[in-house]
Amino acid sequence: MWWTTDQTIQETFAASTRESVDVDLTGLVDIYSSGGQAELEKRIDDRLALNPTDGVRAHYLLANRSGKRIAGDLTEWPDLDPAISESGEIAIGNRSEAYARATLISENLQLLVAHEQPERSFLLARVSLVFLLGGAVFVGCTALFAQIASVRVRDRVSRVSDAFRRHDEPALDRMAAPRNPDEIDQIASQASQAVRRARQLTQAYRDTSEQIAHEIRTPLMHLDSRIMKAIARQPDQSTTAELLEARADIKRLVSTLEALLDIAASQADRGDWKGMNPVDFSSTVRQICELYQDSAEDAGYHLKWEIAEDVNVLGDEAQLRRIVTNLLDNAFKYNRPGGDITVSLQPGPRLSVVDQGPGIPAAEREKIFERFYRGTTAGSDTQGSGMGLALARAIAQRHDLFLGICDNEGGARFVLSPSEGSECV
């Protein structure tokens, strides 16, 4: 646009100069026609004597057919043919140029009129400055509007993200039916509907699981009660032992069922922070260690702990306690006689439980977190259903944490850390 304006201004100046030359030349020709050569020479001298107010100087040359000067301020005839009234740019001295037109006014006389181009550099500079300032204002306004639009879009996307992250059901319901939907609203609406559907499926899954668990748990509890009554009748020693073993099997079955339900619930709630509260994890781990101290002494183990103060975690305290107790129960099961069990808690949080048992082969370090899997190092007399570590990892994932196992010289080292890959650093 600036280039077009610049060219238009220059063309306008040029057209104005051509027109003024033609008018001036026509006037002098009329003077010659009416007053003769002497009158023409006088008028040329008069015009040269004038001081132009617009700064545009005029130049004249009246000459014979051979180009010899008769009147005017120019001394030499330029390369313009008066026979055809030729026009063009001519040099005025060493520094200036002018637009000129030549014409024959009689058989022996020829006349040249030239006007210098008006000074236009100042005007062009002003126009350039206006365009520069206007462009700067335009770019500034565009950048400002873009920034405002960007902030609004980021704010809307942030609100949508926060609603999904916090599971803000009223906000999600509003996004599912926007009044004047645009592209962002449509995406949010579709995502909200998908989340609502997933929420309904999760609730249906929970209801079904709880119903199944109830249908299984109730007859098992009735069966356990009948076994207790049979034991109370004091049968022979062999029968009593079998009844006690059956009762232990029932308890393991109920425990396995409850662990499965807890794993499913933790996996279903993964990423849902509803109901989460700040937990003093330092205090929780210390209380559990103190609680297990007597059991460790009874089992011949040396339980020691090193717990940093003020390690807080956003989560469910009961579930976090279960991670710690499951890891300690696992250490109690597989530790060597008289071995040490060490619990450490550092900010992060970074919780480690180390024992001096047989350890876990590298090939099994992921498998042991699968449901029902029991490592090859577990003896036949080691009790357990293979659900403890699977449940602990599911709870960790529910809290956006990672539970893994790291290299350790003699024994196993389980580490709870903020993300996968950082547990063994």
280-306 tens-digit pLDDT? 999 999 999 999 999 999 999 999 999
From the list 320, 307, 330, 332, the residue with the least C-alpha distance to 401 is 320
**pLDDT tens for residues 37-90?**
889 889 988 888 887 766 678 899 899 988 899 998 888 899 899 989 898 888
Under the banding of pLDDT at 50, 70 and 90, the label for residue 391 is confident
Regarding whether 283 and 411 lie in a shared domain, the answer is yes
Extended beta strands in 65-108, E state:
69-72, 87-92, 96-104
Are the C-beta atoms of 98 and 114 separated by less than 8 Å?
A: yes
Domain containing residue 403: CATH number: 3.30.565.10
358 and 251 both lie in a single domain: no
Give a yes or no: residue 175 inside a domain. no
Does one domain contain both 328 and 234? Answer: no
Do 64 and 151 reside in the same domain of the chain?
Answer: no
Structure-token pair, residue 301: 């183990």
In a domain, 371, yes or no: yes
Residue 136's closest CA among 124, 148, 128? 128
Q: What is the pLDDT of residue 3?
A: 65
In a domain, residue 423? The reply is no
| Residue 363 burial (C-beta neighbours within 10 Å; 0-12, 13-18, 19+) | exposed
Enclosing domain of residue 151: 123-166
In a domain, residue 178? The reply is no
Q: What is the CATH number of the domain that holds 106?
A: 3.30.450.20
Structure pTM? 0.50
Residue pLDDT, tens place only, 92-128 = 877 678 889 999 988 889 999 998 876 665 555 666 6
| 21-30, 92-101, 244-253: least confidently modelled range | 244-253
For residue 222, the domain's CATH number is 1.10.287
* Structural domain includes residue 173: no
Asked if residue 350 belongs to a domain, the reply is: yes
Among 85, 101, 118, give the residue marking a domain's end: 118
Same domain (yes/no): 154, 187: no
Residues 21 and 58 in one domain: yes
Q: Domain check: are 282 and 264 in the same one? A: no
14 and 95 together in one domain: yes
Q: Are residues 6 and 75 in the same domain?
A: yes
Residues 236 and 342 in one domain: no
Domain boundary (118, 135, 154) is at 118
Higher pLDDT, 237 or 10: 237
Three-state DSSP class for residue 149: helix
The domain tally of the chain equals 4
Higher-pLDDT residue of 380 and 122 is 122
Q: Which residue has the higher pLDDT, 232 or 273?
A: 232
pLDDT above 90 as % of the chain: 18
> Rounded CA gap, 411 and 403, in Å?
17
Regarding whether 371 and 348 lie in a shared domain, the answer is: yes
Question: Which pLDDT does position 173 carry in this prediction?
Answer: 64
Q: What is the mean pLDDT of residues 220-243?
A: 80
- pLDDT reported for residue 138: 80
Evaluate whether residue 113 is within a structural domain: yes
Within a domain: 381: yes
pLDDT at 380: 45
Select from 268, 295, 319 the last residue of a domain: 268
Residue 64 or 382, more confident: 64
Give the residue, 233 or 177, on which the prediction is more confident.
Answer: 233
What DSSP character marks residue 54? Answer: T
Orientation of helix 2-49 relative to helix 121-166, angle to 10°: 160
